[in-house]
Chains A and B, each alone.
Chain A
Amino acid sequence: MHDELDRILRDVAAGSRRLTPEECARLYDEADLVALGAAAHAVRCRVNDPAVVTYNVDRNINYSNICDSYCGFCSFYAPPGSKDGYLLTRATIRRKIEETKALGGRQILMQGGTHPEWDVAWYADLLRFCKSLGVHVHALSAPEIQAIAKVSKLPVRETIARLRDAGLDSIPGGGAEVLTDFARNAISPMKCTADQWIEVHREAHALGMRTTATMMMGHKERTADRVEHLERLRSLQDESLRNAGGADAGFTAFISWTFQPTNALKRMEPVGSAEYLRNVAVARLYLDNIRHHQSSWVTQGPKVGQAALWFGCDDMGSTMIEENVVSSAGTVFKMTSPELCSLIRAAGFRPQQRNFFYEPVEALFLDAPDRKLAVVGDRPENDALPREAFEAAGVTAR
Chain B
Amino acid sequence: MTEALLETAGLADLEGPAAEGRAFTADELRRVVAARNPLAAASLADRARAAASGLEVTWPWTLRVRAPGLVIPPEDGTRVSHALPRGADGDSLDGIAATELEMLGALPADAPLGLALELVRSVAAARPDLPLRALTAGEVASLAAREGRSGEDVLRALRSAGLAALSWRTGCGGAAFDAELDIHRAAVACGYAVAVPVGYAKDGLAGFAAHAAAAAAIPGIASLVVLPATSETASPLAGTSGIEDWIACAVARLAVGRTARVSADWHVFGWKLGGTLLSAGADDVVAAQCARAWAPPTDDGPRPMSPDRVRAWILEARRSPSVRDGRFRAADLR
Q: Is B330's beta carbon under 8 Å from chain A?
A: no
Q: Is B39's beta carbon under 8 Å from chain A?
A: yes
Q: How far is the CA of A310 from the CA of B241 in the complex (A)?
A: 13
B5-A303 in contact (CB<8A): no
**Residues on A with beta carbons closer than 8 Å to the beta carbon of B271:** 272
Q: Is A306's beta carbon under 8 Å from chain B?
A: yes
Which residue on A lies nearest to B244, using beta carbons? A346
Q: Is B245's beta carbon under 8 Å from chain A?
A: yes
B38-A269 in contact (CB<8A): no
Residues 316-338 of A at the B interface (beta carbon under 8 Å) = 330, 333
B232-A272 in contact (CB<8A): no
A302-B236 in contact (CB<8A): yes
Q: Is A252's beta carbon under 8 Å from chain B?
A: no
**Residues on B with beta carbons closer than 8 Å to the beta carbon of A269:** 306, 308-309, 312
Q: Is A83's beta carbon under 8 Å from chain B?
A: no
**Residues on B with beta carbons closer than 8 Å to the beta carbon of A108:** none
Which residue on A lies nearest to B203, using beta carbons? A346
User: In the complex where A38-B2, A266-B299 touch, is A303 in contact with B272 (Cβ < 8 A)?
Assistant: yes
B296-A267 in contact (CB<8A): yes
B36-A348 in contact (CB<8A): yes
Residues 250-307 of A at the B interface (beta carbon under 8 Å) = 261-262, 266-267, 269-277, 300-307
Contact of A274 among B2, B243, B276, B309 (CB under 8 A): B276
Residues 155-205 of A at the B interface (beta carbon under 8 Å) = none
Which residue on B lies nearest to A261, using beta carbons? B297
Which residue on B lies nearest to A267, using beta carbons? B296
User: In the complex where A261-B297, A269-B312, A342-B237 touch, is A10 in contact with B243 (Cβ < 8 A)?
Assistant: no
Which residue on B lies nearest to A268, using beta carbons? B297
User: In the complex where A75-B299, A274-B316, A388-B36 touch, is A304 in contact with B5 (Cβ < 8 A)?
Assistant: no
A301-B36 in contact (CB<8A): no
Q: How far is the CA of A273 from the CA of B10 in the complex (A)?
A: 29
Q: How far is the CA of A299 from the CA of B236 in the complex (A)?
A: 14
Listed stretches B40-48, B89-97, B148-156; interface member: B40-48
Which residue on B lies nearest to A39, using beta carbons? B1
**Residues on A with beta carbons closer than 8 Å to the beta carbon of B38:** 307, 310
User: In the complex where A37-B39, A303-B270 touch, is A272 in contact with B275 (Cβ < 8 A)?
Assistant: yes
Contact of A393 among B39, B236, B276 (CB under 8 A): B39
| Given A37-B39, A301-B236, A346-B243, 18 further pairs, Cβ under 8 A | A32-B2, A32-B279, A35-B2, A38-B5, A38-B39, A272-B312, A273-B272, A301-B232, A301-B270, A301-B273, A302-B232, A302-B242, A303-B242, A304-B242, A304-B273, A346-B244, A347-B241, A394-B8
Pairs of residues from A and B, 3 with the lowest C-beta to C-beta distance, nearest first: A303-B242, A272-B275, A346-B241
21 intermolecular pairs with C-beta atoms under 8 Å apart = A33-B279, A34-B2, A35-B43, A269-B309, A271-B312, A273-B275, A275-B316, A302-B236, A302-B237, A303-B242, A303-B269, A303-B270, A304-B272, A304-B273, A307-B276, A333-B236, A343-B241, A388-B36, A389-B36, A389-B37, A394-B4
Name A's B-contacting residues (CB within 8 A): 6, 9-10, 13, 32-35, 37-39, 41, 75, 261-262, 266-267, 269-277, 300-307, 310, 330, 333, 339, 342-343, 346-348, 375, 385, 388-389, 391-394
